[in-house]
Chains A and B, each alone.
Chain A
Amino acid sequence: MKFCTVKQYFDDENNNNVTNGIATTVIPLPNKHLKIKANNKEMEQYEQELLRNVMPQELTKLILAANYLNFKEALDFFCRTVANAIQNKSVDYVRKFFGLESDFEPGEEEKLCKEFAWSFEGVDED
């Protein structure tokens, strides 16, 4: 099932979302996943490797590719990787990670920060 979608994807020339580079990371994933499914430690190492070598931007593209290919295990893995990367980080760090800018009205954001001040304490240094 997975490989049918992959073939269909390559045949679909209008698809610009995923470059060849990404495809080479995602496609071998099923094999890697099957091989090391039982071995959590290796998956963790792979996750660390991914975070070091792959920019957040690329990671987002990996997620989109996995989503498009309907590859649930890869999707869950990448989402978990992203969650671990932004866990306990500040608002600014999270924004930078996703390339987002604040679109709040002036004062709205201050209000939110004030309301939940305790959750902004003790976050990791950026």
Chain B
Amino acid sequence: MSDNNKTLNPWGSLLPDDIVTNIFLRLPIKSIIICTSVSKKWKSLILDPKFNFISTHLHHSYNNNNHNLHLFSLDSQKTEDNKEIYVLYNEDDTDFTRHASFDIPLHGSELDPLNKILHVVGTCNGLLCLSDYSLETDRIFLWNPCVGKYLRLPSPNVTYATHGVFKGSLGFGFDPETNDYKVVRVVSLPITPNLPTLQHKVEVYSLSTGQWRMLSDSLVPTCVVYGILTQSSVNGAMHWLVSRTANDNQFDHFGLVFDLHNEVFREILLPELPAYTRQRSTLCASVSTYRNSIALFHNDHNSLCLDIWVMKDYGVVSSWMKALSLPLRKNIMRAVGFCRNGHIVLELDGGQLISWDVETQEIKDFGIIGYNFVDAYVESLVLLDKTTDNTITY
């Protein structure tokens, strides 16, 4: 191979770093990874944190409007070998052909002897947070399907082994100020002979430290948060829809917000929903992300409408605005989120998923029936530079 290189003329090394980076940014992820093996310099340009390439690549992905992707986790019962698979679709395709599909290699392995289903907690910047939500096995993973790497989180401080039965919830988000990914676990320990009052505990895992840290008791929210909740991670905060038992034994519903940077909780009031009732702890609603703010999907069973509310000015309660109202009778079951191109993803009767363009009224069928998770997605290289013991490349 080097016979014709008698006079070593490495013209490639004449290219300044920023131009080499410019070229990398235009490559598909697989090719970027191949470039890490070309030379030490190239490996360093891509993986060394001082060059910040992973962040640059992420911004480039977000700004690439030709590549709006949507991620679906398909129901394992409907796939060929009864495993969950994750598929990516390009939102702008005229016929939704599959852009890529991934299978997480955890089934039947040492990490998953019982073959438990992993649920998606949330997705952020190309990373997925998964958990089996099981008291006994209690596993949590961070996974980037695009680079084929996953990492298992260490055991939280509060577990079934240490504290007995508990109810809890997980959240996943990104702190843009420290460029760090965090997983939040909120648990409620039930009243027992040893524990006379209901106790809430919160701990936060940070990818940069690789460890869990308990939040001080004074900072813990006083509402019960449990189950697999829909979440919205935006503006450096995580948002859940929760309820709290009020003094009159009815329920108050609100948005619970966890500031990922300062690691404190705060509350956001919901819009004034028509026919709002405080009699039930659950609300037929879910939160979602819309542009740089939050949205609320509410199924109003009185008027039989699906109402889509958007908080126009993030954080300003008076800016909640009913953006859209869709009749529930036309087979529409619920809204599940927004595409990056602004279209709405709806679930129809029977589990069929479609995207709906509000302006043109155009409907596109994803051709998917039966899903566990769906959200907008962006390809990234996050985790590529992680080389700790519990990071697995497959």
**Are A and B bound to each other?**
yes
- The chain A residues found within 8 Å of chain B, CB to CB, are 56-57, 60-61, 63-64, 67, 75-76, 79-80, 82-84, 86-92, 94-104, 109, 112-113, 115-116, 118-120, 123
Contacts of A56 in B (CB 8 A): 11
Pick the residue among A90, A99, A123 that contacts B12 (CB under 8 A).
A99
Contacts of B12 in A (CB 8 A): 60, 97-100
A84 (CB) vs chain B CBs: closest residue: B26
Contacts of A102 in B (CB 8 A): 38-39
**Do A101 and B27 touch (CB < 8 A)?**
no
Some 5 contacts from A to B, beta carbons below 8 A apart, are A83-B26, A91-B34, A98-B13, A98-B15, A119-B34
**Do B19 and A79 touch (CB < 8 A)?**
yes
State in angstroms the CA–CA spacing of A126 and B337 once bound together: 43
Shortest CB-to-CB span from A115 to chain B, Å, is 5
Shortest CB-to-CB span from A77 to chain B, Å, is 11
**Do A79 and B23 touch (CB < 8 A)?**
yes
Known: A82-B23, A95-B38, A109-B37. A87 touches B11 (CB 8 A): no
Q: Which of B1-59 contact A (CB under 8 A)?
A: 1-2, 5, 8-16, 19, 22-23, 26-31, 33-41, 43
State in angstroms the CA–CA spacing of A101 and B9 once bound together: 10
Contacts of A103 in B (CB 8 A): 39-41
**Do A91 and B38 touch (CB < 8 A)?**
yes
Known: A64-B14, A67-B16, A120-B34. A57 touches B9 (CB 8 A): yes
Shortest CB-to-CB span from B191 to chain A, Å, is 49
State in angstroms the CA–CA spacing of A112 and B39 once bound together: 11
* Chain B contact patch, size range: 20 to 34
State in angstroms the CA–CA spacing of A103 and B44 once bound together: 12
Contacts of A109 in B (CB 8 A): 37
**Do B37 and A112 touch (CB < 8 A)?**
yes
**Do A99 and B10 touch (CB < 8 A)?**
yes
**Do A86 and B27 touch (CB < 8 A)?**
yes
Contacts of A89 in B (CB 8 A): 31, 34
**Do A57 and B28 touch (CB < 8 A)?**
no
**Do B33 and A116 touch (CB < 8 A)?**
yes
**Do A79 and B26 touch (CB < 8 A)?**
yes
Pick the residue among A87, A94, A104, A118 that contacts B28 (CB under 8 A).
A87
Known: A99-B12, A104-B40, A119-B30. A83 touches B35 (CB 8 A): no
**Do B10 and A98 touch (CB < 8 A)?**
yes
**Do B38 and A99 touch (CB < 8 A)?**
no
B276 at the interface (CB under 8 A from A): no
Shortest CB-to-CB span from A65 to chain B, Å, is 12
Contacts of B394 in A (CB 8 A): 118
State in angstroms the CA–CA spacing of A80 and B22 once bound together: 9
State in angstroms the CA–CA spacing of A118 and B40 once bound together: 21
**Do A99 and B34 touch (CB < 8 A)?**
no
**Do B15 and A94 touch (CB < 8 A)?**
no
A108 (CB) vs chain B CBs: closest residue: B40
State in angstroms the CA–CA spacing of A104 and B22 once bound together: 23
Tell me which of B22, B31, B37, B43 has the highest count of chain A C-beta atoms within 10 A of its own C-beta.
Answer: B37
